[in-house]
Structure 1
């Protein structure tokens, strides 16, 4: 149902499967036959988990029992009465512009040698920071995703929703250089031995560049660069609606978190642009 009706991504399917399997492993009667009392026995096992993890598992349970109700397999949803933990959305980790530039200096110095893997790594960095792609979206790009003279990508993101993503002149040039040395007949822009570059390998590449740039490797990831893309655009004057479109957020509430990250700019905006600021 999640795949065919809800259009959930493969990563979402994995997450639901893992959460439901974890819940089922602690229930003697199995998951489909569990009562509200049975589910309540999971609480001690989940006590040491983060609130966000517990909330995700509860959401998976509610969705599962909703499905059983809709299909007439059950008449109740025993997960509906379970208390939800309070969730405070954390501010995203970001890099400042100088730190991003330090990453680029390392990647560009290496790419100057013309070594294929160095060209690939620079291209990955250009598309991550220049277009705000998610890790999965980036590594699974088709070989001809970036076409000469076409300043945008058509990305199929979460929930199989398509969106336009801009490709900067720098990123397009990096893709062109990488494509010249790519060779072979792979259908992926970033191929590996069997398929395309994995998300794990992308993490490793970025953290290696971070270490060489003098940054703490644990501070750098594909999602951190996506956050930097959004925050730096907002600081440069982009509006939230445009940012929502670029990031592929279904709910603008998800995008609004970047207003908290860039709160200093918003204070300056009020002080400089509000009519009261001009009154002496």
Structure 2
């Protein structure tokens, strides 16, 4: 019997069982976890798993839960006689602290334009990658917001275009996007035959057409950033970049707060670069994101 399934039988909480099953399957990435596999795990492998979560901007609570799942699993294996030591409790296995530099990083206008241009380099995925990055930047989208977008979430509202955002505990509603982003999305949909369901799809031979997870979207962002010569670019960096470009373009703090679905004005104010801005209460912050993308759009 699969060792993960055997371990989970001893956990009474259904919610904990479900979370631990996901966490342990994510670590092992195997169809069946047997004795030979768990005996081969070393502390270095678990620390590499923690580093990968850190690079992927996983929340601290998710990282702590996954490490806890591994520690409890290997504690159980010791009791079963399948291990003599717990590699997840090794002194060198430690959660990485949030990177204060990366948590406030944004791209310049030139860097953002270089990123958008680099997205088109591979012809097979270029239209998707470009539309994805434009949508994150102009919509100032969070990980779950971009990953949960459906085709029908893009719609006109009066004279403008908006994205309907999936409701979460803190955020819901819609966000305005410019016509240039809609055009990029439409070119992508036409090229890949996407007319319903999830907007972002895998284009790999193995998983073609399946919805992309937040982790898969993150990997696309990092891959495109690498081609543009940029380091440590995440979905959250692109989100903050869009909001700061709006501020630099002339949007005021309340406009940025509304566009970014920020809970208070202090969050928007932290993006401010200190320059005085004239108060503009009308319109949306997206109007002030000034990026030269027309040339890229004209040559898909």
Give the TM interval when normalised to the shorter protein: 0.5 to 0.7
Residue 154 of structure 1 aligns to a residue in which SS? strand
Check whether the contact 1:203–1:221 (CA below 8 A) recurs between aligned residues: yes
Residue 223 of structure 1 aligns to a residue in which SS? helix
Specify whether residues 173 and 159 from structure 1 end up closer, same or farther in structure 2 by C-alpha distance, changes over 3 A only: same
Name the CA distance, whole Å, in 2 between partners of 1:174 and 1:19.
Answer: 38
Check whether the contact 1:132–1:230 (CA below 8 A) recurs between aligned residues: yes
Q: Which residue of 2 aligns with 1:209?
A: 224
Q: Which residue of 2 aligns with 1:247?
A: 260
Name the CA distance, whole Å, in 2 between partners of 1:89 and 1:122.
Answer: 26
Name the CA distance, whole Å, in 2 between partners of 1:225 and 1:17.
Answer: 22
Residue 155 of structure 2 aligns to a residue in which SS? coil
Q: Which residue of 2 aligns with 1:94?
A: 106
Specify whether residues 196 and 129 from structure 1 end up closer, same or farther in structure 2 by C-alpha distance, changes over 3 A only: same
Which is worse superposed, 157-166 or 174-183?
157-166
Name the CA distance, whole Å, in 1 between partners of 2:261 and 2:65.
Answer: 27
Q: Does 1:138 align with 2:153?
A: no
1:126 to 121, 134, 144: 134
Check whether the contact 1:164–1:246 (CA below 8 A) recurs between aligned residues: no
Q: Which residue of 1 aligns with 2:54?
A: none
Name the CA distance, whole Å, in 2 between partners of 1:177 and 1:118.
Answer: 11
Check whether the contact 1:146–1:175 (CA below 8 A) recurs between aligned residues: no
How big is each residue's C-alpha offset from its partner over 1:42-81, in whole Å with a ceiling of 9 and x where there is no partner?
A: xxx8xx766669xxxxxxxxxxxxxxxxxxxxxxxxxxxx
1:227 to 236, 240, 248: 240
Check whether the contact 1:135–1:223 (CA below 8 A) recurs between aligned residues: yes
> TM-score when scaled to structure 2?
0.55
Which runs of 5 or more structure 2 residues have no equivalent in the other structure? 1-14, 16-58, 73-90, 279-300
Check whether the contact 1:132–1:247 (CA below 8 A) recurs between aligned residues: yes
Name the CA distance, whole Å, in 2 between partners of 1:205 and 1:245.
Answer: 27
How big is each residue's C-alpha offset from its partner over 1:109-149, in whole Å with a ceiling of 9 and x where there is no partner?
A: x38xxx45211111101101111111221122012221367
Residue 232 of structure 1 aligns to a residue in which SS? helix
Check whether the contact 2:63–2:95 (CA below 8 A) recurs between aligned residues: no
TM-aligned CA deviation for residue 18 of structure 1: 6.0
Specify whether residues 122 and 90 from structure 1 end up closer, same or farther in structure 2 by C-alpha distance, changes over 3 A only: closer
Name the CA distance, whole Å, in 2 between partners of 1:21 and 1:116.
Answer: 35
Residues 137-216 of structure 1 correspond to what in structure 2 (within 5 A)? Answer: 137-147=145-155, 150-156=160-166, 158-159=168-169, 161-183=171-193, 187-192=197-202, 193=207, 195-213=210-228, 215-216=229-230
TM-aligned CA deviation for residue 17 of structure 1: 6.8
1:238 to 232, 251, 257: 251
Specify whether residues 52 and 182 from structure 1 end up closer, same or farther in structure 2 by C-alpha distance, changes over 3 A only: closer
TM-aligned CA deviation for residue 211 of structure 1: 2.2
- Count of paired positions: 206
> TM-score when scaled to structure 1?
0.59
Which runs of 5 or more structure 1 residues have no equivalent in the other structure? 4-13, 27-44, 54-87, 271-280
Name the CA distance, whole Å, in 2 between partners of 1:134 and 1:20.
Answer: 21
Q: Which residue of 2 aligns with 1:106?
A: 118
TM-aligned CA deviation for residue 98 of structure 1: 0.7
Which is worse superposed, 156-165 or 139-148?
156-165
